[in-house]
Amino acid sequence: MEKAWYETRAWINSQTQLSAADLFQYTRKKAREYGWTSAGEIAGHIVGKFPHEQPANPKSLELDIHPDNSNDLFLRDANGNKRHWILEIHFVDKDNKIGGYFEQLI
């Protein structure tokens, strides 16, 4: 999982625009490349100075790496600051009932 995380980060860093939905789908593809299933409702989330940024609508997924979030991860926050994201890699093998998880700041 750690290797997949670093490969995914390298891919992210090669992008100039990237929606959260596209990154979510990429993490699914990366799991399949390694022979796993990707789990988790999100593949990451925003972090920042506490309390970190929150959407106006608490049910909004705009600050999560989620398939329904079409926002560009490179957009700045309301104050013009660069946003910081946690990338989460979740791999599972449902047949063998095992899995793992790796996350770090992108």
Residue 93: which domain range? 2-105
Could you tell me where the DSSP H helices lie in the chain? Answer: 2-13, 20-33
Q: How many domains does the chain have?
A: 1
What is the pLDDT at residue 56?
73
Q: Torsion angle of alpha carbons 96, 103, 19, 37, nearest 10°?
A: -10
For residue 46, the surrounding DSSP H or E stretch is strand 44-47
Local confidence pLDDT in tens for the 106 residues of the chain: 999 999 999 999 999 999 999 999 999 999 999 999 998 899 999 997 655 666 677 777 888 999 999 999 999 988 898 999 999 999 999 999 999 999 999 9
Task: At 30, list the tokens.
Answer: 């990366």
